[in-house]
Structure 1
Amino acid sequence: MSNFKTNIQKLGRAMLLPVAAMPLAGLILRLSADDMLNIPVLGAAGNAVFGNLDILFAIGVTIGFAKAKDKGIPALTGFLAIATLKAGLNIINPEVNMGIFAGIISGLVAAWTYNHFKEQKLPLVFSYFAGEKFPLTMVMILQTVSAVIFGLIWPFIQNGIDSFAKLLVDMGALGVGIFLFLNRLLIPFGLHHVLNTYVYYDLGSYTAPNGEVFRGEMTRFINGDPNAGLFLSGFFVVMMFGIPAICLAIYRAAFKENQKMVKGIMGSGAATSFISNITEPVEFSFMFISPMLYVIHAFFAGLAGMVCYLFNIRIGFTFGACIVDYLINFRIATNPLLILPIGIVFFCLYYVTFYYLIKKRNIPTLGREVVATEFGEIALDEEEELSLASKNYQYMAKKLLAAFGGKENINDSYSCNTRLRVEVLDASVVDEARIKQLGVSGIIKPSATNYQVIIGLEVTYIMAEFDKLLAE
């Protein structure tokens, strides 16, 4: 269970790497649209991120799980993994689109391949391809096999979801609720796009006054169909009110030492969702840390869809269910004003539920940690006031590294606002007493091989010197 929790935390941290590029990309993508600034080259920058999310996630997951101090070759292994999978799928079945799920799978395969084959020995004639370079070869072989497997089974998954989407149409408010629930629930697997395709682009038919026929909720609404928009209105409640409420809950629940950092990340995530409909920066920050919270989020999304259906709110979008589309489409929508009071109610529902559960169940969302202490504990809200006895950071880093068993015993290391976090290969060689003698304020062990050294804000300088020693 300890290893499982550690791996889940690693996955969550790995997800934050590509997520870091999303907020700005989402904003500039929206600003570049035809109905805004109409600057195609600006939109190209945003599409460079959202058009390659599978690649970004593959690299991020690989970096997160690869056991190496230098992440360059693992990152290249992750890229080769997703590139091989996509190229293979294009041969096996060009219609298959696995989305972000392909990136996550590729990242995990790449990390496993690197960790298992990075020390592979070969005959001398092939020695150039041995060691860290060997995973580059192996991952292409493994992902070719993956392409064949997923190329054969994925069409059945896609067809099943498409058929299920058609069944939802005749279920009224319940069908809309299930659609929004599954729309959110399937995001981690990249399958929500499969479900969306039928509803967005094929559901229903409308003949315009000029005789032109339009299909799909999005297309029919924009072209004047008064019956369109029931399947889309709930998204405005989620994107404009639900996601910002989650951000506020995560910020308020964060430990005091981390709130400045969390405020920036969650504030950006809330603004991105409200302005540009991009929710991944927020959702990926907690979906793997707490699946329970994510299921609740999906349930609330479904509930929002049902409420909007029952109040006969019909509004659609071209870019996304954000404030811009809300204002642009307000005049052609049905009962759009009701989204505001409904949104406020759901904001409160989201905030109270998330804040209560995060605090009550001690869920390690951004800015929080679930840790077990062995050598004493210090109040987290006091850590920013701590200071080291010695200001010779190079000396302190050198002594810390020696106490951890030298750089050959370091599997991973990084820092947060006040702590040096180190994962070692062999905990038996770590001199914990020596670490405490260096004047640090405490040591915490989340697991058998993971250490958190409480230093204070000076950890930034210690980490810089620690990295230099690891690179030597």
Structure 2
Amino acid sequence: MGGFKKGLQNLGRAMLLPVAALPLAGLILRLAAPDMLNVPILMAAGNAVFGNLDILFAIGVAIGFAKAKDKGIPAMTGFLAIITLKQGLLIIDKTIDMGIFGGIISGLIAAWTYNRFKNQKLPMVFSYFGGEKFPLTMVLVFQTIAAFIFGYIWPVIQAGIDQFAKLLMGMGAIGVGIFMFLNRLLIPFGLHHVMNTYVYYDMGKYTAPNGQVFHGEITRFINGDPKAGLFLSGFFVIMMFGVPAICLAIYNAAYKDRKDEVKGIMGSGATTSFVAGITEPVEFTFMFISPMLYVIHAIYAGLAGFICALFNIKIGFTFGSSIIDYLINFKIATNPILILPIGVAFFALYYFTFYYLIKWKSIPTMGREEVQDYGEEATADEENLSMGSKNYEYTAKKMLQAFGGKENIEEAYSCNTRLRVEVKDPSIVDEQKIKQMGVSGIIKPTENNFQVVVGLEVTYVMAEFGKLLDSE
């Protein structure tokens, strides 16, 4: 089970790489549309990304699973894997469309091929093709076989996926509510990306006037599908109204002498959610302190999706269901103005629910927790340190020490808001010292895997963390 969970975690992480290319491409595509700036060459640039999602995901997954510091050859292996599969399927059956699943499968095969054959030795006359280059040859063989297999079994699988999509979409508002509920509920495990990927980039089908075919709620909405956006509209309610309301509730529920401290953190969290559509810095401040509050949050998210669907609100996003996407996509959306009154209602619902439950149940949310005992070994700098200090080099150094030094690090990387570290010996990890760094929380999906919730500054912390790992 631990290996399975780790594999899903790695898959979610690998998907973040190609997804990182989508926000700007989506914004370009929207701004260049005929009803806005009307710049065809910019639209072509945006479509170059959204029209090749399977290739992006193949490369991203190959990079994510390949065991190598230099990811160049794994990326090339992923690219060769997907184009070999696509060409093989065209010969067998031109109607087969594996979408991003083809990319994910190709990426997984490419990563396995690279890890298995990267040290392969060949006779001297063929030595140039050995070592790290050998996977480039072997992946062509494996993907030719894969094309033959999927050419005959995928039509059945494709029919099953289509039925699932139709079931989910056919459930109307209930289907939307279920999706949004699960979306929030899976965040603590980092598995929401797996489910999101299908809904966002593969569910449904739309043929544009120029004959190009697009899949997924996000992609179809951006390209003018009038049926797309139903599964996305509820997120605007949560990001623009729900999470800021949680921040206000936590701030007002904080003890009087702690309000100034909480104000900065919660104010930043609310702004990040409203402007960037990123909610984890806020959610991780209470999800493990009070699972009850987090389940309520997930239920309210599902309810928001359900209500938005009932009112036939269809609006998409590329940046993160924030005010930016709301304003940019307002013109091509269906009933987007209704998000505002619904959002105000959910702001009140979230605020009063969280505020009164925190007070009634004496939940130790930020500003209400007991004063931490940092121990005799903690320095004054450690006790006062927070992400607001911007001292990322110092933070990374102390965090690495708390993880047991670089000798204890098996792997380290970051996602949107988390520093994810796999250690060799979890017994020597000092979680208390990590918490002293001013992080929002620590998650352990498996015994050897730690996820430190840093926030948006995780990129800078990881940069310094990586330097320390690479140092002699």
Normalising by structure 2, we get a TM-score of 0.58
| Residue number in structure 1 paired with 2:13 | 13
| Residue number in structure 1 paired with 2:411 | 412
Q: Give CA-to-partner distance per residue, 1:68-111, whole Å, 9 cap, x none.
A: 12222122222222222222222222222222222222222222
Q: Secondary structure at the match of 1:140?
A: helix
Q: Secondary structure at the match of 1:29?
A: helix
Q: Which amino acid aligns with 2:465?
A: M
Q: CA deviation at 1:30?
A: 0.6
Q: CA deviation at 1:66?
A: 1.5
In structure 2, relative to structure 1, the CA distance for the partners of 1:304 and 1:99 (3 Å cut) is farther
Alpha-carbon distance in structure 1 between the residues aligned to 2:418 and 2:199: 38
1:316-395 → structure 2 map (5 Å cutoff):
326-327=330-331, 340-342=340-342, 344-345=344-345, 382-384=385-387
Checking the alignment, whether the CA contact within 8 Å between 1:66 and 1:115 is kept in structure 2 is: yes
In structure 2, relative to structure 1, the CA distance for the partners of 1:70 and 1:143 (3 Å cut) is same
Larger radius of gyration, structure 1 or 2? 1
| Residue number in structure 2 paired with 1:197 | 205
| Residue number in structure 1 paired with 2:173 | 177
In structure 2, relative to structure 1, the CA distance for the partners of 1:282 and 1:53 (3 Å cut) is farther
In structure 2, relative to structure 1, the CA distance for the partners of 1:35 and 1:386 (3 Å cut) is closer
RMSD: 6.2
More displaced 10-residue stretch of structure 1: 396-405 or 43-52: 396-405
Checking the alignment, whether the CA contact within 8 Å between 1:58 and 1:82 is kept in structure 2 is: yes
Checking the alignment, whether the CA contact within 8 Å between 1:180 and 1:298 is kept in structure 2 is: no
Alpha-carbon distance in structure 2 between the residues aligned to 1:260 and 1:72: 41
In structure 2, relative to structure 1, the CA distance for the partners of 1:454 and 1:241 (3 Å cut) is closer
Q: CA deviation at 1:51?
A: 1.9
Q: Which amino acid aligns with 2:205?
A: T
Alpha-carbon distance in structure 2 between the residues aligned to 1:18 and 1:94: 26
Q: Which amino acid aligns with 1:9?
A: Q
In structure 2, relative to structure 1, the CA distance for the partners of 1:420 and 1:176 (3 Å cut) is closer
Checking the alignment, whether the CA contact within 8 Å between 1:81 and 1:140 is kept in structure 2 is: yes
In structure 2, relative to structure 1, the CA distance for the partners of 1:403 and 1:82 (3 Å cut) is same
Q: Give CA-to-partner distance per residue, 1:1-46, whole Å, 9 cap, x none.
A: 4434433333332222222222222111111000011011222222
> Structure 1: any 5+ residue segments left out of the alignment?
202-217, 223-228, 271-280, 287-291, 361-375
Q: Give CA-to-partner distance per residue, 1:301-333, whole Å, 9 cap, x none.
A: 77236622xxxx5x7789999655654677xx8
Alpha-carbon distance in structure 1 between the residues aligned to 2:204 and 2:120: 45
Alpha-carbon distance in structure 2 between the residues aligned to 1:64 and 1:197: 28
Q: Give CA-to-partner distance per residue, 1:263-291, whole Å, 9 cap, x none.
A: 78755653xxxxxxxxxx999xx9xxxxx
Q: Secondary structure at the match of 1:413?
A: strand
Is 1:238 the counterpart of 2:246? The answer is: no
Q: CA deviation at 1:151?
A: 2.4
> Structure 2: any 5+ residue segments left out of the alignment?
183-193, 210-219, 251-261, 284-294, 319-324, 362-376
Is 1:304 the counterpart of 2:312? The answer is: no
Q: CA deviation at 1:60?
A: 1.9
Q: Secondary structure at the match of 1:120?
A: coil
Alpha-carbon distance in structure 2 between the residues aligned to 1:38 and 1:266: 30
Q: CA deviation at 1:294?
A: 12
Q: CA deviation at 1:114?
A: 1.8
Checking the alignment, whether the CA contact within 8 Å between 1:68 and 1:411 is kept in structure 2 is: no
Alpha-carbon distance in structure 2 between the residues aligned to 1:454 and 1:158: 37
In structure 2, relative to structure 1, the CA distance for the partners of 1:294 and 1:33 (3 Å cut) is farther
| Residue number in structure 2 paired with 1:98 | 98
| Residue number in structure 2 paired with 1:36 | 36
| Residue number in structure 2 paired with 1:365 | none
| Residue number in structure 1 paired with 2:370 | none
Checking the alignment, whether the CA contact within 8 Å between 1:417 and 1:459 is kept in structure 2 is: no
Q: Which amino acid aligns with 2:140?
A: M
Alpha-carbon distance in structure 2 between the residues aligned to 1:198 and 1:454: 38
In structure 2, relative to structure 1, the CA distance for the partners of 1:152 and 1:165 (3 Å cut) is same
Checking the alignment, whether the CA contact within 8 Å between 1:418 and 1:459 is kept in structure 2 is: no
1:52-451 → structure 2 map (5 Å cutoff):
52-159=52-159, 175-177=171-173, 180=176, 188=196, 190=198, 196-197=204-205, 234=230, 237-238=233-234, 240-242=236-238, 244=240, 269-270=276-277, 300=303, 303-304=306-307, 307-308=310-311, 326-327=330-331, 340-342=340-342, 344-345=344-345, 382-384=385-387, 404-405=406-407, 411-414=410-413, 423=422, 427=425, 446=444
Q: Secondary structure at the match of 2:412?
A: strand
Total equivalences in the alignment = 389
- Residue identity over aligned pairs, in percent, reads 47
Q: Secondary structure at the match of 1:34?
A: coil
Alpha-carbon distance in structure 2 between the residues aligned to 1:199 and 1:298: 31
Checking the alignment, whether the CA contact within 8 Å between 2:16 and 2:415 is kept in structure 1 is: no
Checking the alignment, whether the CA contact within 8 Å between 2:118 and 2:131 is kept in structure 1 is: yes
Checking the alignment, whether the CA contact within 8 Å between 2:232 and 2:315 is kept in structure 1 is: no
Alpha-carbon distance in structure 1 between the residues aligned to 2:71 and 2:267: 28
Alpha-carbon distance in structure 2 between the residues aligned to 1:106 and 1:55: 9
Alpha-carbon distance in structure 2 between the residues aligned to 1:445 and 1:338: 37
| Residue number in structure 1 paired with 2:471 | 469
Checking the alignment, whether the CA contact within 8 Å between 1:237 and 1:304 is kept in structure 2 is: no
In structure 2, relative to structure 1, the CA distance for the partners of 1:92 and 1:324 (3 Å cut) is same
Q: Secondary structure at the match of 2:205?
A: helix
Checking the alignment, whether the CA contact within 8 Å between 2:168 and 2:176 is kept in structure 1 is: no
| Residue number in structure 1 paired with 2:50 | 50
| Residue number in structure 1 paired with 2:189 | none
| Residue number in structure 1 paired with 2:3 | 3
